[in-house]
């Protein structure tokens, strides 16, 4: 059994695979203060609830954009699973070329998303990961990573508005019923969400024009993908397990 970890700024998403089949998946909060032992006991409890034994895990791969958590997570894998994990980073075999001035600058999550998206949908592609930050990654017809865009995420934008404007409240991110709002909360929701959708659609339109291809699939993933895609005119498909798929693909390419 393969265990995969995607460590994001807000959440850690985990999954177990038998071959290409995703058996179980979990989402927990990212806590930079937790020790390896605390994560080990938490994972042990999640496994026990699903009747999974930790010794069933034979391999582990980790992708992380939170550097302080890498040491405790690696120690956790070694202590509780007796496995040294494969870590997505410089030196890993991706199976595609990266057209970036400094490939070491690219977040591991973006590499994983490109690998998972091309495996499932082919190319050309635009992959949008809507999380704490929002990334747009462009994939060539042959699977090569051509570059992309990084923008603030929905929750980051909402938090910035709350923190910088003294009289504006912290709000729940839900789509309001109308664009012309009659109270502060729905006005903030409309401005953030519809403004965010407009940003996504405009970036995608400009990317398509610059790429010059007739048909380009646009795949969205991340915590806010479903809400945004309902309003977007450019997103073709939501794939909530895209990152987990990419981790499996990268493990397979490096286990050969």
| 139 and 214, same domain (yes or no) | yes
| 236 and 127, same domain (yes or no) | yes
| 139 and 222, same domain (yes or no) | yes
| 39 and 144, same domain (yes or no) | no
Q: Is residue 33 part of a domain?
A: yes
Q: Which helix (H) or strand (E) holds 70?
A: helix 70-76
| 137 and 233, same domain (yes or no) | yes
Q: Is residue 26 part of a domain?
A: yes
The predicted pLDDT at position 183 comes to: 85
Measured between alpha carbons, how far is 3 from 103 in angstroms, rounded to an integer? 26
109 classed as catalytic:
yes
Q: What is the pLDDT of residues 207-254, one digit of tens each?
A: 999 998 878 999 999 888 888 898 999 999 999 999 999 999 999 999
| 157 and 220, same domain (yes or no) | yes
Question: What residue has token string 């991706």?
Answer: 94
Q: Is residue 172 part of a domain?
A: yes
Q: What is the full DSSP assignment across 152-217? A: E-HHHHHHHHHHHSTTPPP------S-SS-SSHHHHHHHHHHHHHHHHHHHHHHHHHHHHT-S--E
| 228 and 141, same domain (yes or no) | yes
Q: CATH number, domain at 62?
A: 3.30.420.40
pTM: 0.87
Q: Is there a binding annotation on residue 142?
A: no
Q: Is residue 69 part of a domain?
A: yes
The predicted pLDDT at position 88 comes to: 95
Q: What is the full DSSP assignment across 83-134? A: -PPEE-STT---SS-B--SSGGGS-HHHHHHHHHHHHHH-SSEEEEEESSEE
Q: Is residue 97 part of a domain?
A: no
Q: What is the pLDDT of residues 49-78, one digit of tens each?
A: 999 999 999 999 999 999 999 999 999 999
Tokens matching residue 243: 């990152």
Question: What residue has token string 């493990």?
Answer: 251
Q: Is residue 201 part of a domain?
A: yes
Q: What's phi and psi for 123, nearest 5 deg? A: -135, 170
Residue 128's domain spans which residues?
A: 123-240
Q: Is there a binding annotation on residue 12?
A: yes
- Per-residue pLDDT band for 117 (boundaries 50, 70, 90) equals very high
| 146 and 223, same domain (yes or no) | yes
| 166 and 212, same domain (yes or no) | yes
- Domain total in the chain: 2
pLDDT at 162 over 90: no
The residues, ordered by sequence, that sit 6+ positions from 22 with a Cβ below 8 Å of its Cβ are 15, 16, 241, 244, 245, 248
The predicted pLDDT at position 241 comes to: 94
Question: Mean pLDDT of all residues in the chain?
Answer: 90
- Per-residue pLDDT band for 145 (boundaries 50, 70, 90) equals very high
The predicted pLDDT at position 131 comes to: 82
Q: Is residue 92 part of a domain?
A: no
Q: Which of 37, 109, 144, 239 is catalytic?
A: 109
| 137 and 79, same domain (yes or no) | no
Measured between alpha carbons, how far is 13 from 96 in angstroms, rounded to an integer? 24
| 60 and 145, same domain (yes or no) | no
Look at strands 59-64 and 2-7 and give their pairing.
parallel
| 145 and 83, same domain (yes or no) | no
Q: Is there a binding annotation on residue 7?
A: yes
The predicted pLDDT at position 243 comes to: 94
Measured between alpha carbons, how far is 27 from 17 in angstroms, rounded to an integer? 15
Q: Is there a binding annotation on residue 100?
A: yes
- Look at residues 38, 10, 81, 25 and name the one whose alpha carbon lies nearest to residue 247: 25
Q: Is residue 133 part of a domain?
A: yes
């Amino acid at each position: 059994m393969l265990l995969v970890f995607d460590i994001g700024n807000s959440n850690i998403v985990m999954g177990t695979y038998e071959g290409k089949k995703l058996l179980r998946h979990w989402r927990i909060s990212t806590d930079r203060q937790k020790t390896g032992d605390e994560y080990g006991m938490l994972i042990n409890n999640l496994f026990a609830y699903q009747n999974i034994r930790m010794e069933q895990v034979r391999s582990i791969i980790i992708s992380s954009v939170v550097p302080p958590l890498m040491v405790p997570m690696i120690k956790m894998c070694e202590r509780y699973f007796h496995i040294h994990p494969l870590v997505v980073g410089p030196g890993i075999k991706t199976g595609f070329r990266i057209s970036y001035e400094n490939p070491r600058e690219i977040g591991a999550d973006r590499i994983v998303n490109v690998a998972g998206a091309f495996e499932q949908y082919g190319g050309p592609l635009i992959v949008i990961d809507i999380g704490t930050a929002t990334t747009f990654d462009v994939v060539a017809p042959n699977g090569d990573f051509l570059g992309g865009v990084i923008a603030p995420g929905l929750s980051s934008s909402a938090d910035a508005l709350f923190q910088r404007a003294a009289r504006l409240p912290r709000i729940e991110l839900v789509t309001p019923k109308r664009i012309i709002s009659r109270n502060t909360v729905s006005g903030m929701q409309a401005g953030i969400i519809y403004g965010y959708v407009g940003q996504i659609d405009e970036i995608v339109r400009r990317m398509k024009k610059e790429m010059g291809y007739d048909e380009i699939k646009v795949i969205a993933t991340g915590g806010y993908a479903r809400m945004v895609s309902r309003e977007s005119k450019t997103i073709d498909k939501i794939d909530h397990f895209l990152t987990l798929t990419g981790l499996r693909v990268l493990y397979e390419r490096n286990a050969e």
